[in-house]
Structure 1
Amino acid sequence: MQKDRLTSRTGLAVTCAALLAALLVSAVVAIGLGSAVVTPGETARYLWAALSGGRIAADEVTAYQIVWQIRTPRVLLAALVGAGLSAIGVAIQAMVRNALADPFVLGVSSGASVGAVGVTVTGGLAALGIHAVSAGAFLGALAASLLVYAASAGRGALSPLRLVLTGVAMSLGFQALMSVIIYLAPDSEATSMVLYWTMGSFGAATWGALPAVAAAVLLGLAVLHRYSRALDVLALGDETAASLGVSPDRHRKGLLVLVSLVTGVMVAVSGAIAFVGLVMPHLVRMVAGATHARVLAVAPLTGAVFMVWVDLASRTLVAPRELPLGAITALVGVPVFIALMRRKGYLFGGR
């Protein structure tokens, strides 16, 4: 048994190392590709010069600025959002014991979008400066989570089917509310704004936006790893959790706040992106097993690699225009999810 455990840990370490290498290579390739193509070697040299304070020739300044000032923060943001969405999807599915749950399906992303759009249109929370939109998105995500939880909670245990149905209904309601806000806004750019918040984009990525997102995602990952055993127990049901000394209500409330915080910050900078938090946990469980400590180690890296390539596709397939991120993730996620559900013997959390 000890040998199997060692082998398991070694396999997990090798998998994570391979995904880290894939993420690094993907980032360098994605940074170099676009309307102005920069070779991987030149991209790596520019990145090293920026990090080490090296010098760049005068005729390379334009390429250097494209790599460091425009594409690097965008690729890093894509990796952070992909990691965050995957991890939050794992947590939500365990929290509500429902294989169809994710921030988008449960209405959390739509609520965050309403909060962000409301702050942008009305100029609310102006005292928070550059963090006003993030704060609005967090408040919207938290309000959506509380409404979905309160509306779906019955006298007994939380019904997974009721929660998903309530989440879908709330999501549609929040999208309608967002459309009304945009329709009544005097700004002529409202149409493009609603598309941004409903389908997602990293076009507004800047170095200034990265610290808040990185802090929220890393905090979320750290907390989820710490409570990975509790997630294992919650996935077994409330009665089993209570018999093992785990309070389902207390953990759900804490996870609810965490999910709202991380989702709100991500939506504030990227809009609502569907299917990543739904599909990635299932794919990872098929490879890493159902233990949440292992899933939470692999899923964020897998989601980060996936989102880097999704962003690359969004800005290169129909260049100079950009495809909405949500359109690409849906085109990939829908057939993958259907294939998973049709897979013989596949169950939530395992094979």
Structure 2
Amino acid sequence: MSPPAPPEALQRPAPTAQEPVRTGSRTGLVAICVSLFAALVVSVVVAIGLGPAVVPPAETARFLWAALSGGPISADEVTTYQIIWQIRTPRVLLAALVGAGLSAVGVAIQALVRNALADPFVLGVSSGASVGAVGVTVMGGLAVFGIYAVSVGAFLGALVASVLVYGASSTKGALSPLRLVLTGVAMSLGFQAVMSVIIYFAPSSEATSMVLYWTMGSFGAASWGSLPVVTAAVLLGVLVLHRHGRPLDVLALGDETAASLGISPDRHRKSLLVLVSLVTGVMVAVSGSIAFVGLVMPHLVRMVVGATHARVLAVAPLAGAVFMVWVDLVSRTLVAPRELPLGVITALVGVPVFITLMRRKSYMFGGR
């Protein structure tokens, strides 16, 4: 006869395939976050220095410090300094911010709709933003915003898409995850049809290139002027989502379970839907649609830190930022001086990774 289990063993739930056993979880989580932050800093410095004009990391760091501290720059270094500070730095920082935001929003969306195949663009936000951007480009308007007219049009299009999806999927004030996903997919197809009609009746090379930009993604239009809004939106979104870690854990278990635990699924789903729509709209307005980051990154992070949303939301933004910095670097250097759309690279990386995850961790994709 085996000895009786100690009291703590009776109280501790058995480990499941969804949540692997880990020792020193808090220390391990801190170590992962510190390592990813260090990798992000190194990646940013390296990415800023690489391009048609290669600048060594030490020189790149010196130029960055001079820009931040107001240090002196010699006359023969002015051109290189301008390339580093005015062109590459805002682009690399924007890539890090968008990568962090897409990863965090992807985690939240998958919990909100209880669908492991969901990503930040499943609600039709990106398609609405594309219609807004193409509409402004082809038909004009919003001239009061100057060079930011297209981005403002994209953001307004994203907001319109969010409102339409919410209104169409809401039934007596309740939001069903399945209706939300189906409505988002239908709206995406509808917005794509509208965009095709706009281009058909106003064909031009500028419209075609704009469609490619908004459907495949690019950081080519990054500037210091666009960073403050994106920074505020992404940081606020990540912080609020992290504070909603427990409600997201409960929502992922189902509405009945959430209600039994004192969580109002409809109230939390509505507030989080507004948040993720706004953050996604801001990101799409400056970068276009970038696929697979918000889909694959949450699953990769869950493999390392488990399924608890507070842990995932602490790691996913850093991992997404590092990933997107390197994706952007490959985009602008692989076939230089031409630039590959970001969506091409993320798809080439994301598809094999996603298939590998599905084969090795099938329980994360709806079970066997």
TM-score calculated relative to the size of structure 1: 0.91
**Pair 173,16 (structure 1): closer, same or farther in 2 beyond 3 Å:** same
- More moved, 179-188 vs 96-105: 179-188
| SS of alignment partner, residue 189 of structure 1 | helix
1:25 paired to 2:42: yes
| SS of alignment partner, residue 327 of structure 2 | helix
1:28-75: per-residue Cα shift (whole Å, max 9, x none)? Answer: 111111111001111111111111111111111111111111000000
**Pair 335,6 (structure 1): closer, same or farther in 2 beyond 3 Å:** closer
**Pair 349,39 (structure 1): closer, same or farther in 2 beyond 3 Å:** farther
1:307-328: per-residue Cα shift (whole Å, max 9, x none)? Answer: 0000000001100000000111
Q: Distance in 2 between matches of 1:344 and 1:35?
A: 41
| SS of alignment partner, residue 70 of structure 1 | helix
1:197-225: per-residue Cα shift (whole Å, max 9, x none)? Answer: 11110011111110011011111112111
**Pair 154,331 (structure 1): closer, same or farther in 2 beyond 3 Å:** farther
* 1:259 match: 276
Q: Distance in 1 between matches of 2:363 and 2:146?
A: 48
1:229 paired to 2:246: yes
Q: By how many angstroms is 1:191 displaced? A: 1.1
Amino acid aligned to 2:229: A
Q: Distance in 1 between matches of 2:244 and 2:217?
A: 30
* 2:319 match: 302
Q: Distance in 2 between matches of 1:164 and 1:338?
A: 22
- More moved, 329-338 vs 117-126: 117-126
Amino acid aligned to 1:267: V
Amino acid aligned to 1:250: R
Q: Distance in 2 between matches of 1:171 and 1:337?
A: 22
1:89 paired to 2:106: yes
**Pair 344,272 (structure 1): closer, same or farther in 2 beyond 3 Å:** closer
Q: Distance in 1 between matches of 2:321 and 2:211?
A: 25
Q: Distance in 1 between matches of 2:92 and 2:176?
A: 39
* 2:337 match: 320
Out of 173, 176, 186, which is 1:158 matched to? Answer: 176
Amino acid aligned to 1:94: A
8 Å CA contact 2:175–2:269 kept in 1: the answer is: no
| SS of alignment partner, residue 346 of structure 2 | helix
| SS of alignment partner, residue 233 of structure 1 | helix
Percent of aligned pairs sharing the same letter? 83
Q: By how many angstroms is 1:103 displaced? A: 2.0
Q: Distance in 2 between matches of 1:111 and 1:285?
A: 30
1:339 paired to 2:356: yes
Structure 2 residues without counterparts, runs of 5 or longer:
1-7, 9-20
- More moved, 236-245 vs 176-185: 176-185
8 Å CA contact 1:135–1:264 kept in 2: the answer is: no
* 2:187 match: 170
* 2:328 match: 311
Out of 109, 122, 128, which is 2:139 matched to? Answer: 122
8 Å CA contact 1:85–1:263 kept in 2: the answer is: yes
What is the CA RMSD across the aligned residues, in angstroms?
Answer: 2.5
8 Å CA contact 2:293–2:346 kept in 1: the answer is: yes
Amino acid aligned to 2:253: L
1:220 paired to 2:220: no
Q: Distance in 2 between matches of 1:48 and 1:344?
A: 44
* 1:192 match: 209
Q: By how many angstroms is 1:127 displaced? A: 4.3
1:79 paired to 2:121: no
Runs ≥4 residues deviating over 6 A: 154-157
**Pair 232,130 (structure 1): closer, same or farther in 2 beyond 3 Å:** farther
Q: By how many angstroms is 1:106 displaced? A: 3.1
1:202 paired to 2:241: no
Structure 1 residues without counterparts, runs of 5 or longer:
none
* 2:79 match: 62
**Pair 260,136 (structure 1): closer, same or farther in 2 beyond 3 Å:** farther
**Pair 61,159 (structure 1): closer, same or farther in 2 beyond 3 Å:** closer
Q: Distance in 2 between matches of 1:244 and 1:150?
A: 28
1:41 paired to 2:58: yes
TM-score calculated relative to the size of structure 2: 0.87
1:119-160: per-residue Cα shift (whole Å, max 9, x none)? Answer: 343333444556544443333223323434454567997253
**Pair 51,243 (structure 1): closer, same or farther in 2 beyond 3 Å:** same
Count, aligned residues: 348
- More moved, 131-140 vs 208-217: 131-140
Greater C-alpha Rg: 2
Out of 346, 352, 356, which is 1:329 matched to? Answer: 346
Amino acid aligned to 2:297: M
Q: Distance in 2 between matches of 1:140 and 1:234?
A: 28
1:170-194: per-residue Cα shift (whole Å, max 9, x none)? Answer: 2222122122223334764111111
Amino acid aligned to 1:335: P
Out of 176, 179, 182, which is 2:199 matched to? Answer: 182
Q: Distance in 2 between matches of 1:183 and 1:141?
A: 22
